[in-house]
Amino acid sequence: MCMESYLQGQDLWDVVGGNEVTQPNEDTSDTLQKWKIKASKAMFALKTKVEDDMLEHIRKVKTPKEAWDTFATLVLKRNDTRLQLLENELLSMTQRDMTITQYFHKVKSICRELSELDPSAAIVESRIKRIIIHGLRPEYRGFVAIVQGWPTQPSLVKFENLLADQEALAKQMGGVSLKGEDEALYTKSKCSFKQCASGGSKRNGDKGKSHQGRGSSRPEEAPKYHGNRG
């Protein structure tokens, strides 16, 4: 809840930033007493609602107005620091290993926070899209160039959906390719094994045949003639 809205809802804003910020000089009709009660309530609200690191800066102030001004200065300083950090992060934002959905969410979250911290410098959708395109991974550049050539440019939501579809398609094609490579590797290994096995058998068969061939081609010895000597 906004601090100012809370104080207004509790009828305490007059002593913080309204027309009763200073203590009345005259104590007529218990005016001073009523102001002190309201001021005490406002101080209690401020001290219980602010963060601990800010409480130290307003602990010793005497009026709600002083506490509010100190509080506003600290918040402004903190916001300036946060704005600078967010702007630096946005300028260096790239997709890296994020999915399309994660990347879009990250960029839009930073832009939303920047707009909340500085409403006068709200980031419009067309600039958000340019920031996103700038940090996309290289494989999306061709598709983005095609989309940018369309006569009617898609909204940021539609653009995210288109890129998410491309991401899903790339994953699907990558899975098919990988599966095909694995099957090819398995088939190649299987064929190689068969070739080695059949080749070995063939070589053994040929070797056997070779031995048999050599045995059959050996000339037979002529039988010796044992006639009657005489």
pLDDT digits (tens, 9 = 90+) for 100-121: 999 999 999 999 999 998 888 8
What single-letter amino acid sits at 4? E
Per-residue confidence (pLDDT) for residue 216, from 0 to 100: 46
Residue 194: Cβ within 10 Å count: 10
* Annotated domain spans of the chain: 3-80, 93-168
pLDDT digits (tens, 9 = 90+) for 70-105: 888 888 888 999 999 999 999 999 999 999 999 999
Q: Are 1 and 50 in contact (CB under 8 A)?
A: no
Sign of the CA dihedral running 193, 199, 200, 201: positive
Per-residue confidence (pLDDT) for residue 3, from 0 to 100: 80
Q: What is the dihedral of CA 54, 55, 56, 61, to 10 degrees?
A: 110
Stretches in the chain below the pLDDT threshold 70: 1, 27-29, 175-230
Instruction: Report the percentage of the chain scoring pLDDT > 70.
Output: 73
**Nearest Cα to Cα of residue 101 among 144, 132, 141, 134:** 132
Give me the DSSP letters along 86-121: HHHHHHT---TT--HHHHHHHHHHHHHHHHHH-GGG
Per-residue confidence (pLDDT) for residue 167, from 0 to 100: 95
Per-residue confidence (pLDDT) for residue 192, from 0 to 100: 43
Per-residue confidence (pLDDT) for residue 226, from 0 to 100: 52
pTM, full prediction: 0.60
